[in-house]
């Protein structure tokens, strides 16, 4: 014969209710955070990775360039270029001489020096939401004079012309998104190009920033 079961008392019911309520409240708070966390992590990795890959390309261009063939530029209100500072300083655009017209062919002159064919232009363009910059990169052909492989005419005029032409390219040749700042400088001995990309957003919209710094000896 089955034993008669006792009902639950009011304190028991209240205790269980309170515990379940606390658990559910905690889950309401924690679960969205946990669900959002991988997305945030992925977003940060995407930001970091695209900047890292952009930096990889910049490093390549600087290595193949020459410290006598780089210029730093401001693009607002008008394009204006000058010789780069000795320490890495924030810049809106930069120009680096190149012997690579985009085909990857190793172009050498009769004396074994680079056959300079133009410049690569890097510049920052505010994105559509105004929260960060897109980093653009374009090749601009130019007549580069040189002596013993050292470019002699990469000056403010040539650089400004190249930057102006590059900025007219449509659609814009975006290299990477979500850049907060770009810094650039050249030290003379040894011939070293110092550069830095800050991945993230601007204006305090998102405080997460990651700095990438390179220090590339310009080989040519």
Partner 1 sequence: MQETSLHRGILKSGASGQRGFAMAFVFVLVALLLLIAILVITGAFNANNQAQAVGVKYGVLNSAEAAANLALNRLAENPSEPVGCVTGSLNGAVYRSCLGLNNLSWPTGRLTPDYADPGTNVWVPKGAAYIYGEATNQGSRKVYVEAIAQPAPPLVMPSGAINAATDINDLSSMGINQDPLHPNDATVSANNNINVPGAASPVQGVTHAVGTDSLIGSDGTTHSGSAAVGFPNFTELAQAAQNAKLTAQAGTNLSGSTVSSGTATYTGNVYINGDVNVSSGTVTFSTGTYVYINGNLCISGTGTVVNADGGQGLMVVTGVVSSNGVGGYQTIAGQDTMLLSLASDPGAINPCGSSAADALSLSPPAATVEPVGTVYATVGSVQLTGLGTVQGALDAGTNVDLNGGPGSAVQYDAKQAQTTLTTGTMTYTAYNQN
Binding site for partner 1 (CB under 8 A): 2, 4-5, 27, 31, 34-35, 37-39, 41-42, 44-46, 48-49, 52-53, 56, 59-60, 63-64, 99-100, 104-114, 149, 219-220
The residue (of 160 and 194) whose beta carbon lies closer to partner 1 is: 194
Q: Taking the complex as a whole, how short is the minimal distance between the CB of residue 17 and partner 1, in angstroms?
A: 14
The runs of H, that is alpha helices, within the chain are 10-64, 156-167
Q: How far apart are CA 120 and CA 200, in angstroms?
A: 24
Would you say 5 or 128 has its CB closer to partner 1? 5
Q: Quick one: 89 or 152, whose CB is closer to partner 1? A: 152
DSSP β-bridge partners for residue 101: none
Q: What is the dihedral of CA 20, 22, 23, 26, to 10 degrees?
A: 160
Query: From CA 65, how far away is CA 59, in angstroms rounded?
Result: 10
The distance of closest approach from Cβ of residue 168 to partner 1 in the complex, given in angstroms and rounded to an integer, is 28
- CA–CA dist 149, 220 (Å, integer): 7
- In the complex with partner 1, the residue whose CB is nearer, 205 or 219, is 219
What's the min distance (Å) between Cβ of 58 and partner 1? 12
Instruction: Please report which residue ranges of 66-155 form alpha helices under DSSP H.
Output: none
Q: How far is the CB of 5 from partner 1 (least distance, A)?
A: 6
């Amino acid at each position: 014969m089955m034993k008669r079961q006792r009902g639950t008392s009011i304190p028991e019911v209240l205790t269980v209710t309170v515990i379940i309520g606390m658990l559910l409240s905690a889950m309401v708070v924690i679960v969205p955070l946990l669900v959002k966390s991988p997305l945030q992590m992925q977003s940060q990795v995407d930001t970091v990775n695209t900047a890292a890959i952009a930096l990889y390309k910049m490093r390549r261009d600087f290595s193949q360039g020459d410290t006598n063939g780089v210029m730093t530029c401001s693009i607002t209100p008008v394009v204006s270029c000058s010789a780069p500072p000795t320490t890495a300083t924030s810049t809106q655009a930069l120009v680096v001489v190149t012997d690579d017209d985009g085909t990857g062919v190793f172009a050498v002159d009769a004396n074994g020096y680079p056959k300079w064919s133009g410049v690569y232009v890097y510049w920052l363009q505010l994105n559509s939401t105004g929260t960060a910059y897109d980093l653009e990169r374009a090749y601009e052909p130019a007549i580069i004079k040189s002596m013993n492989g050292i470019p002699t005419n990469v000056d403010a005029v040539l650089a400004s012309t190249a930057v102006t032409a590059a900025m007219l390219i449509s659609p814009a040749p975006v290299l990477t998104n979500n850049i907060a700042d770009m810094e650039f400088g050249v030290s003379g001995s040894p011939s070293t190009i110092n550069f830095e990309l800050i991945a993230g957003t601007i204006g305090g919209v998102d405080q997460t920033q990651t700095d990438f710094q390179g220090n590339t000896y310009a080989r040519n």
